[in-house]
Amino acid sequence: MSKRAVVAAVQLTGVSDLEFESSLSELRELAKTLGFEVVGTFTQKRTNFDSTAYLGTGKRDEMRRFVQGENASDPTEEEGVTARTAKGGSKQQDKKVARHGIVAAREAAKALAESDTRRAAFVLVDHEISPSQARNLENEIGCDVLDRTMVILEIFHRHARSNAARAQVEIARLRYLAPRLREAAKLAGPQGRQRSGVGGRGAGEGAGEADRAKIRDRIAELKQEITALDLERQVQRARRQETQGLARVVLIGYTNAGKSTLMRALTGSEVLVANKLFATLDTTVRALVPDGVPRVLVSDTVGFIKNLPHDLVASFKSTLEEAAEASLLLHVIDASDPGFERQIAVTEKVIAEIEAGDVPRLRVFNKIDRVGDAKAQIELAKALRAHYPKCIVMSAVDPNAVLKLQKTIRSFFSRRLVKAELFLPWSAQHLRGELFANCVVLEERADAEGAFFRVRGERADIDGLREKIRIA
């Protein structure tokens, strides 16, 4: 069976239809990233989640019928038995028969799973649910259940490439699994206990407790590894900051907004580009092309998403520190997404959390080419510029638009350049290459003693050159 799945979601009171549909659409995109084919969607409006199995009993039964390929108009075995007993008999008999019906339904679901005739093999839930809710839902429907948190964790697990990202994902996964081990230990009951004795775990120590101890030890080990990697990254960042004439731009924004495509267009790099959520999990740094003064480094970062698991937010803050240290943030927004305003709010919240709120920011509305016809694109662009002054509306696949953005970035950094005159004696001509690399030469003239240069560059670069010329 292919990886077919159904999506299930509860719309709580107070959640707007637009927000609810946007969240469902996101979950379907997350499923696509994992390689699932979504074959059905089941929603229910409630004031709160069902404490037993997330959805109400009627909706769970509807999902079971669909998954097992039953005709929704035909009564299930359980319903048929209950209907017959409703005509007469004791309440105790009714309960006994009903229980038998539930067991039969579960056995039927198990048989269908073994014969691989189900319409779907997975249920994807658009919330984080408790271990007991997931287990009950699995038992009733006959499918593996993955909640939103687990789906995101699995994507991060598959896409993480660097050692730091892998370690951070593993910590989040272990913290997610820990309470589920407790639930499994409860189900195991007394059998989960191990006898004491030589080589044993000690009196009363269970397998679940030992597993949790292993998880704690592993998390502590991973934290030490991340600390070492963070120190290494800090050294690398310090070296980059010491580089003369350095300016830093960081792409930041919602997942799948087109940051990697824009990164590739701005820098000419072969970074991963995919129409999937969380295609990029590791920070990538490349130089803006063509090279200029000052030299601009562009960083791509992990995208954001609503209801990102808390442990992942905490774990990936180290990768987002690039944004806090940037000279300019490019907030990339998918203009073709009807819910882009909500995405802006999520991104701005994270920017505040990583203390990057004071960094200059330029909003870049990307993917305008995906908005209807030319007339619709013009109207949307006009509306966006009216509502977000100084924003850029573009498509990362349009070379002219990319060139305009590059000029805007250059213009931003050129504001801090200063003009100066430098005299380079013939005895210090070995500094000529460094001068041309770090400054824009506006005028050059020479006499018997050396060359005079009128330049524009970073004040720190010019001061550094003056010092080197003095001691040359």
- Per residue of the chain (472 residues), give pLDDT as tens: 468 999 999 999 999 998 899 889 889 988 988 889 999 999 999 999 999 999 999 999 999 999 988 754 433 333 333 333 333 444 444 444 444 445 555 554 454 444 456 789 999 999 999 989 999 999 999 889 999 989 988 888 887 777 877 888 888 888 888 887 766 666 555 554 444 444 444 444 566 677 778 888 998 998 888 888 778 777 766 665 555 446 889 998 888 888 888 998 998 876 544 555 554 555 677 888 887 778 888 988 777 777 676 666 665 665 666 677 788 999 999 999 988 998 898 888 878 877 788 889 999 999 999 998 999 999 999 999 999 999 999 999 999 999 999 999 999 988 888 999 999 999 998 999 989 888 889 999 999 999 999 999 888 889 989 999 988 7
* pLDDT for the residue numbered 322: 66
Q: Which residues pair with 328 in a beta bridge?
A: 249
Asked whether the beta carbons of 377 and 336 are under 8 A apart, the reply is no
Strands lying side by side in the sheet with 361-366: 284-287, 295-300, 246-253, 328-334, 361-366, 392-393
CA distance 162 to 150: 21
Domain-wise residue ranges, the chain: 4-154, 160-228, 244-414, 418-471
Under 8 Å CB-to-CB from 137, ≥6 apart: which residues?
53, 54, 55, 60, 123, 125, 129, 145
For 273-301, b where at least 16 C-beta lie within 10 A, e where not — what string? beebbbbbbbbbbbebeeebbbbbbbbbb
Q: Which residues pair with 284 in a beta bridge?
A: 300
- Classify 6 as helix, strand or coil: strand
Instruction: Please compute Rg for the chain using Cα positions.
Output: 30
* pLDDT for the residue numbered 311: 65
Closest CA to 289 of 399, 371, 163, 453: 399
* pLDDT for the residue numbered 173: 87
* Phi, psi torsion values for 187, nearest 5 degrees: -65, -35
Q: Which fold has domain 4-154?
A: Rossmann fold (3.40.50)
CA distance 207 to 193: 6
Look at the chain and count its residues: 472
* pLDDT for the residue numbered 98: 44
* pLDDT for the residue numbered 302: 74
Closest CA to 164 of 218, 219, 216, 223: 223
CA distance 182 to 212: 8
Q: What is the DSSP string of 76-98?
A: PHHHHHHHHHTTSS-HHHHHHHH
* pLDDT for the residue numbered 157: 81
Within this chain, domains 4-154 and 244-414 share the same CATH topology: yes
β-bridge pairing 418-425 and 392-393: unpaired
* pLDDT for the residue numbered 268: 84
Closest CA to 254 of 323, 162, 343: 343
Q: Which fold has domain 244-414?
A: Rossmann fold (3.40.50)
Under 8 Å CB-to-CB from 213, ≥6 apart: which residues?
none
β-bridge pairing 284-287 and 295-300: antiparallel
